[in-house]
């Protein structure tokens, strides 16, 4: 809860002056590194989130530049949905590579069909790509800091030679 809240605040403070207004993406990215069995794995998940998102942004930009007709866009979204279901629990980089365009293209599709924008480029597609990249980096960075803070605390403040292991609680007499 703290990581998501801090990421939302940091994203709002840092990204709002730049015109980025999707701090919910930062909050989601901040929570990703918190899940895992080790500090190394958690940090890896945060980095994989950023790498996968940027690969997904490149894929999304390619699709936007092709400006496919709506029916082809719907088929692309369907293929991305299948790929997301296949990889979401197995491999974070691949999952984010397909989830990113899935999410962005789905929202852009609504803009094209309901708003009468006519094309993906007219649906502010490139601004959404920049927003997603900035917010993901902010969120993942905050999440990784939240993961590393307890490790650093155990290492340098408590002086633990192995900060990845739990420090036993010493109880006094009568407890």
pLDDT in tens, 24-57: 888 888 888 888 888 888 899 999 999 999 999 9
Q: Per the domain annotation, does 164 fall within a domain?
A: no
Domains in the chain, number: 1
| Whole-number pLDDT of residue 57 | 95
Q: Looking at the domain assignment, is residue 167 inside a domain? A: no
Given this model, what pLDDT does residue 44 score? 92
- Whole-number Cα distances in Å, 101 to 73, 107, 169: 11, 10, 47
pLDDT at position 84: 93
**pLDDT value at position 162?**
64
Answer whether residue 118 is part of any domain: yes
Would you say the C-alpha torsion 37, 39, 43, 48 has a positive or negative sign? negative
- Quote the pLDDT of residue 158: 63
Whether the pTM exceeds 0.85: the reply is no
Domain annotation covers residue 53: yes
DSSP state of 155: I
Q: Which residues of the chain have pLDDT under 50?
A: none
Measured between alpha carbons, how far is 114 from 111 in angstroms, rounded to an integer? 6
Which residues, at least 6 apart from 155, have a Cβ–Cβ distance to it below 8 Å? 163
Q: Of 19, 83, 8, which is closest to residue 52 (Cα–Cα)? A: 83
Q: Report the length, in residues, of the chain.
A: 175
The token pair at 57 is 């942004």
What does R_g of the chain's alpha carbons equal in angstroms? 20
Domain range enclosing 130? 2-157
Secondary element (H or E) of residue 136? helix 125-152
């Amino acid at each position: 809860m703290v990581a998501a809240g801090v990421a939302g605040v940091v994203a709002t403070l840092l990204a709002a002056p730049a015109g980025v207004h999707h701090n919910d993406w930062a909050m989601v990215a901040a929570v990703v590194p918190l899940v895992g069995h080790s500090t190394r794995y958690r940090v890896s998940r945060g980095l994989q989130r950023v790498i996968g998102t940027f690969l997904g942004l490149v894929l999304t930009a390619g699709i936007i530049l092709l400006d496919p007709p709506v029916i082809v866009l719907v088929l692309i979204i369907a293929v991305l949905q299948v790929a997301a279901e296949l990889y979401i629990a197995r491999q974070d980089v691949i999952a984010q590579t397909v989830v990113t365009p899935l999410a962005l293209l789905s929202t852009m599709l609504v803009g094209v069909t309901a708003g009468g924008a006519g094309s993906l480029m007219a649906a502010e597609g490139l601004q959404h790509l920049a927003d997603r990249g900035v917010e993901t980096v902010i969120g993942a960075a905050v999440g990784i800091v939240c993961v590393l803070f307890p490790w650093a605390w155990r290492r340098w403040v408590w002086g633990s030679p192995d900060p990845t292991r739990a420090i036993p609680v010493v109880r006094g007499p009568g407890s």
